Chain A
Amino acid sequence: MVVKLLMGNEAIAHGAIEAGVQVAAAYPGTPSSEVLGTLAAMAGEYGFYAEWSINEKAALETAAGASLAGARALAAMKQVGLNVAADPLMSLAYIGVKGGLVLVVADDPGPHSSQTEQDTRKFAQFAKLPVLDPSNPAEAREMTKYAFVLSEKLLLPVILRPTTRTCHACQNVELPENIQKRRSPASFGKNPDWVIFPSLSARKHVWLNRQQKAAGDILGLSPFNRLEINEGAKAGIIACGLSYNYVREALRLTGLKASVLKIGAPYPLPAPPVLELFKHAERILVIEEQEPVVEDQVISLAWQHRLESRISGKHDRLAPREGEFNVDKVKAIIEKFFDLQPAPAGETPLPELPLRTPVLCAGCPHRASFYIFKEAARGTDTVFTGDIGCYTLGAIPPINAVDTCLCMGASVTMAAGLHRAEPGRRQVAFLGDSTFFHSGVTGLINAVYNRADITVVILDNRTTAMTGHQPHPGMGATAMAGDGTSVDIAGLVKACGVGFVREVDPFDLAEAGKAARAAMEHSGPAVVIMRRDCAALVKRSRPYSISSDDCVNCGACLEDLGCPAIGKLDALPVINTSCTGCGVCSQICPAKAIRR
């Protein structure tokens, strides 16, 4: 055995490799991205295949294809990514799998980096698929290995649903010294059962429903659900996934006594340990983040078995459905459950603290792109639709150039919709290069086909920046290799039938500005590709400074750009050490006071 400090996502990747994964595919999304990142880095050594797919649907379908050939396969994504992959997922539950297929879906209660707080356990229940909910990185690794075996036993995809605090937690994890490097070759066997006709679906639906019982029976024997009876305690607490840690610590801090049932398999919930807990507890509290997935099943079991214990949780509003839990919140819930008054906190109020929102980095090319289009649209009431990526931060003052943001790719289609509702107004859509490939290109084809008179700005910083700089189809690199086929964005846009396409450098404000104005004047869909590498990936060039002699203190550099490299000292703007030398501020300074 070796002991390593592993992040939850790394632990999941290790589990998959130990289980002999043969094909892994993912689209990056916080907090899931490091699962495939880790797999890709180890794929060469262990002889399996890993890819960054174009989107989550492509990732899951890639894994499904491999599984039908008998290979063990993994797909990874964040919770909203599963919405994109919902189509293959729902059908795959009916068709079933051959090689174990594990779908890692990272949830983000809080949310920290997501559009929604949706609960993937609920999605698993909807798709009728078993789901495992780890409480820490070490358990996430164990569950991953188990999930492959379970998937092959049930012939169903199995979902592993870690949350941010497991994905991005690090723990000392014991790993075997030697992992089997050989993988058995896969072989696809032709069979009408792989073709989803309605007649097959009707049959398979009956089978799928039966598998729920089989899954519950198998999961009842898993080591991930654990009943800890506290003799003499009248209360019972059922804690799912991560919440188990909070319950343990809250009980330790308060000294309260309860029998605790740890749940690692929230759906289908195994009945025996729950029924056993009922024998030892007059009152039961269910602690789980997000939706009452376990609680609803416990209530249903109690009803079926005519058990009269009081069941507390979300339904009697003891525990919230929203937000992330922590020890303090769970402690307060448990104290309420025990009818105790929580001790007054006696907090000293903090002094007024600065508002510190995330901002675009110093030298970020997106800042220049937003500036250029705001200038081009000056005097008009142009609507700027935004998308998912670093550039969503364009909504924050002083940039204020993102008026809408919904989901991946929606900048283009929503701009078109806004244009239909208000044809007299200009609409400009901003989306990144990776997002364009993910789902922006379909919207662009729709705009061409339906002749939407909109401007689309592709912020091509040559990476998937927000999630940690993963490669995408436009870069000529794949997850495993430096050389891949590069899909040329301008060529693709032209092939879609867009009549106006310009590729410009956002740091050349004059040229890019001309392109922006021409695009907005163009009738019909127009595309401007703002091409400049992500500031985090290029070497800084010589920084600029502001001459205090020449500065007229007009505030343009501060108020028009909002660059974190420009601050104020003794009332005059100054450039600090984070300057990357992009030179955008020197181009907008009316007094020409910003120089190298």
Chain B
Amino acid sequence: MKLDVVISGVGGQGSILASRALAGAAMANGLNVLTSEVIGMAQREGPVTSHIRIGNDLCGALIPDHEADFLIGLELSETVRSLGKLKPGGTVITSEMAIIPVSVQLGLSKYDRETYKRHIREQVKKAVFLDLETLSHLAGNPRAGNVIIMGAFSTCPGLPLQPEQLLRSFLQLVPEKYKDINAHAFEIGRRAMEAS
């Protein structure tokens, strides 16, 4: 058994919580896990990726190019940036949401939402786009995107864990007062995926 997952996004979107939750759920199932996270300067609105490797005989924490079974993207352009990690036939679950960096506001670089979406559609057969902005509003928390997308991911076939295990793992990591909103957000993600 081997499952390699890349979570990409922008610093501050909660990719570390998502990767810890996934690792915790896999561990609860008796599997070995290794994750690699970006902590430090990049957390200030820079590009961040977490690698999560689940299996019996693991090597290092970094996933080689073209080896990831899943690419979970919290921000559209960052999903494109990490596409090289996805294996042929791998699945992309990405937010359609754009976080426009300051460099674009200043005219120093470009952000082309439609091109990014088209590129993902052309390159990846199994690509799911989620409107995380609307779904987060539905969840009642603009910062719940990480939980929603993991809820969506949890419904994918062939995972070595049940959605309930992933949810339980999430809830163990968040403070008591946020448990309900997180459980709700997770459920919204699950349903959005089933509807897509």
Are A351 and B38 in contact, CB atoms less than 8 angstroms apart?
A: no
Q: Which residues of B116-174 have CB atoms within 8 Å of chain A's CB atoms?
A: 116, 119, 123, 142
Known contacts A248-B59, A249-B59, A326-B62: does B38 contact A354 (CB below 8 Å)? Answer: no
Are B109 and A354 in contact, CB atoms less than 8 angstroms apart?
A: yes
A245–B34 CA distance with the chains assembled, in angstroms: 12
Are A354 and B44 in contact, CB atoms less than 8 angstroms apart?
A: no
Whether B33 sits at the interface, judged by CB under 8 Å, is yes
Could you say which residues of chain B place their CB within 8 Å of the CB of A348?
123
Q: Which residues of B1-38 have CB atoms within 8 Å of chain A's CB atoms?
A: 10-11, 19-20, 23-24, 27, 32-38
A170–B60 CA distance with the chains assembled, in angstroms: 11
Whether B112 sits at the interface, judged by CB under 8 Å, is yes
Closest to A252 in B: B59
Partner of A562, one of B34, B44, B102, B110: B102
Are B115 and A351 in contact, CB atoms less than 8 angstroms apart?
A: yes
Q: Which residues of A173-221 have CB atoms within 8 Å of chain B's CB atoms?
A: none
State how many angstroms separate the Cβ of B20 from the closest Cβ of chain A. 7
Are A354 and B100 in contact, CB atoms less than 8 angstroms apart?
A: yes
Are A112 and B62 in contact, CB atoms less than 8 angstroms apart?
A: no
A136–B34 CA distance with the chains assembled, in angstroms: 9
Closest to A348 in B: B123
Are A350 and B119 in contact, CB atoms less than 8 angstroms apart?
A: yes
Are A357 and B112 in contact, CB atoms less than 8 angstroms apart?
A: no
Whether A125 sits at the interface, judged by CB under 8 Å, is no
Could you say which residues of chain B place their CB within 8 Å of the CB of A398?
102, 106
A559–B102 CA distance with the chains assembled, in angstroms: 9
Whether A3 sits at the interface, judged by CB under 8 Å, is yes
Q: Which residues of B40-70 have CB atoms within 8 Å of chain A's CB atoms?
A: 40-47, 59-62, 64-65
Whether A231 sits at the interface, judged by CB under 8 Å, is no
Known contacts A136-B61, A352-B110: does B44 contact A169 (CB below 8 Å)? Answer: no
A96–B118 CA distance with the chains assembled, in angstroms: 64
Known contacts A172-B27, A352-B112, A393-B44: does B62 contact A558 (CB below 8 Å)? Answer: no
Could you say which residues of chain A place their CB within 8 Å of the CB of B115?
351
Q: Which residues of A524-574 have CB atoms within 8 Å of chain B's CB atoms?
A: 558-559, 562-564, 566-568
State how many angstroms separate the Cβ of A263 from the closest Cβ of chain B. 15
Closest to B52 in A: A170
Known contacts A172-B32, A359-B44: does B61 contact A165 (CB below 8 Å)? Answer: yes
State how many angstroms separate the Cβ of B71 from the closest Cβ of chain A. 13
Whether B185 sits at the interface, judged by CB under 8 Å, is no
Whether A323 sits at the interface, judged by CB under 8 Å, is no
Are B142 and A577 in contact, CB atoms less than 8 angstroms apart?
A: yes
State how many angstroms separate the Cβ of A23 from the closest Cβ of chain B. 26
Closest to B35 in A: A170
Whether A102 sits at the interface, judged by CB under 8 Å, is no
Could you say which residues of chain A place their CB within 8 Å of the CB of B74?
none
Are B34 and A169 in contact, CB atoms less than 8 angstroms apart?
A: yes
Whether B91 sits at the interface, judged by CB under 8 Å, is no
State how many angstroms separate the Cβ of B162 from the closest Cβ of chain A. 18
Closest to A577 in B: B142
Whether A143 sits at the interface, judged by CB under 8 Å, is no
A358–B99 CA distance with the chains assembled, in angstroms: 13
Are A171 and B44 in contact, CB atoms less than 8 angstroms apart?
A: no
Are A358 and B61 in contact, CB atoms less than 8 angstroms apart?
A: no
Could you say which residues of chain B place their CB within 8 Å of the CB of A559?
106
State how many angstroms separate the Cβ of B145 from the closest Cβ of chain A. 12
Known contacts A170-B23, A170-B35, A171-B33: does B62 contact A357 (CB below 8 Å)? Answer: no
A81–B141 CA distance with the chains assembled, in angstroms: 40
Whether A85 sits at the interface, judged by CB under 8 Å, is no
Partner of A245, one of B35, B42, B59: B59
Are B60 and A245 in contact, CB atoms less than 8 angstroms apart?
A: yes
A350–B84 CA distance with the chains assembled, in angstroms: 9
Give the most central of A135, A331, A355: most B CB within 10 Å.
Answer: A355
Could you say which residues of chain A place their CB within 8 Å of the CB of B61?
136, 165, 169-171, 245
Could you say which residues of chain A place their CB within 8 Å of the CB of B105?
558, 562, 566-568
State how many angstroms separate the Cβ of A488 from the closest Cβ of chain B. 29
State how many angstroms separate the Cβ of B1 from the closest Cβ of chain A. 14
Closest to B100 in A: A567
Could you say which residues of chain B place their CB within 8 Å of the CB of A112?
38, 40-42
Could you say which residues of chain B place their CB within 8 Å of the CB of A347?
84
Partner of A165, one of B40, B43, B62, B111: B62
Are A5 and B33 in contact, CB atoms less than 8 angstroms apart?
A: yes
A466–B46 CA distance with the chains assembled, in angstroms: 13
Whether A159 sits at the interface, judged by CB under 8 Å, is no
Are B64 and A5 in contact, CB atoms less than 8 angstroms apart?
A: no
Are A358 and B60 in contact, CB atoms less than 8 angstroms apart?
A: no
State how many angstroms separate the Cβ of B122 from the closest Cβ of chain A. 8
State how many angstroms separate the Cβ of A392 from the closest Cβ of chain B. 8
Whether A109 sits at the interface, judged by CB under 8 Å, is no
Could you say which residues of chain A place their CB within 8 Å of the CB of B84?
347, 350
Are A170 and B40 in contact, CB atoms less than 8 angstroms apart?
A: no
A5–B28 CA distance with the chains assembled, in angstroms: 10
State how many angstroms separate the Cβ of B91 from the closest Cβ of chain A. 17
Could you say which residues of chain B place their CB within 8 Å of the CB of A567?
100, 105
Are A30 and B40 in contact, CB atoms less than 8 angstroms apart?
A: yes
A246–B47 CA distance with the chains assembled, in angstroms: 24
Task: Return the CB mask of A1-30 against B: 1 if under 8 Å, else 0.
Answer: 001010100000000000000000000001
Closest to A578 in B: B12
Known contacts A245-B59, A249-B60: does B40 contact A353 (CB below 8 Å)? Answer: no
Task: Return the CB mask of A134-178 against B: 1 if under 8 Å, else 0.
Answer: 011000000000000000000000000000010011111000000
A192–B50 CA distance with the chains assembled, in angstroms: 53
State how many angstroms separate the Cβ of B50 from the closest Cβ of chain A. 9
Whether A113 sits at the interface, judged by CB under 8 Å, is yes
Could you say which residues of chain A place their CB within 8 Å of the CB of B36?
165, 168-169
Could you say which residues of chain B place their CB within 8 Å of the CB of A354?
77, 100-101, 103-104, 109-111
A7–B61 CA distance with the chains assembled, in angstroms: 11
State how many angstroms separate the Cβ of A242 from the closest Cβ of chain B. 7
Whether B191 sits at the interface, judged by CB under 8 Å, is no
Partner of B65, one of A165, A328, A361: A328
A289–B43 CA distance with the chains assembled, in angstroms: 25
Could you say which residues of chain B place their CB within 8 Å of the CB of A42?
none
Could you say which residues of chain B place their CB within 8 Å of the CB of A169?
34-37, 61
Whether B193 sits at the interface, judged by CB under 8 Å, is no
13 contacts between A and B (CB under 8 A): A112-B40, A168-B36, A169-B61, A170-B37, A171-B32, A354-B100, A356-B101, A357-B101, A361-B44, A361-B45, A398-B106, A562-B106, A567-B100
Residue ranges of A at the interface with B (Cβ–Cβ < 8 Å) = 3, 5, 7, 30-31, 112-113, 135-136, 165, 168-172, 242, 245-246, 248-249, 252-253, 326-328, 331, 347-348, 350-361, 390, 393, 397-398, 466-468, 558-559, 562-564, 566-568, 577
